[in-house]
Amino acid sequence: MMNIVLLEPEMPANTGNIGRTCAATGTRLHLIEPLGFKLNEKALRRAGLDYWEKLDVTVYSDYQDFLDKNPKALNKLYFATTKAHRVYSDVAYEPDCYLMFGKESGGIPEELLIENEDRCIRIPMWGEIRSLNLSNSVSIVLYEALRQQGFEKMELEGELHRLQWKSRES
């Protein structure tokens, strides 16, 4: 199972959207405090729709608490940052790795990035754009990691309902 780690997320709508993505992919969500919102906040629930109840989510008091409770994460943790030298798609992700994203206003603290520079990844961007939206960034990197795992246990095909479509055309 993949893991998304949000370090001090600030915007409930982003976290709600990420929670919905995690629920849709069978991914665990780890939230490291302080949070810029309350977990029962309306904007969080609205963005996550009715999927929030299906989510495997854990909240930690700080980064050390996260590491203490997830000792395997230390060697399987990737840090998404605009400061990385390596593109996210150039990494071979483990099936149970942890993808960390920092808060919207400042990203992951520089000291963590320096300590883990070999596991820092970036999404390429054009021009002077500072960064992508947090929930979009999570989706991009998570789906690449899931693609590498063959989208294990995920629905790979949909079904068209041709009879309903034909009745609308009449």
Sign, CA dihedral 35-37-55-49, equals negative
Q: Is 116 exposed, middle or buried (0-12, 13-18, 19+ CB in 10 A)?
A: middle
Residue 143: which residues within 8 A CB-CB, separation 6 or more? 25
**CA 24 to CA 33: how far, in whole Å?**
24
Question: Contact, 6 vs 29, CB < 8 A?
Answer: yes
**CA 117 to CA 113: how far, in whole Å?**
5
The reply to whether 131 sits in an annotated binding site is yes
What does R_g of the chain's alpha carbons equal in angstroms?
Answer: 17
Closest CA to 6 of 46, 51, 55: 55
Annotated binding-site residues for S-adenosyl-L-methionine read 102, 123, 131
Annotated binding-site residues read 102, 123, 131
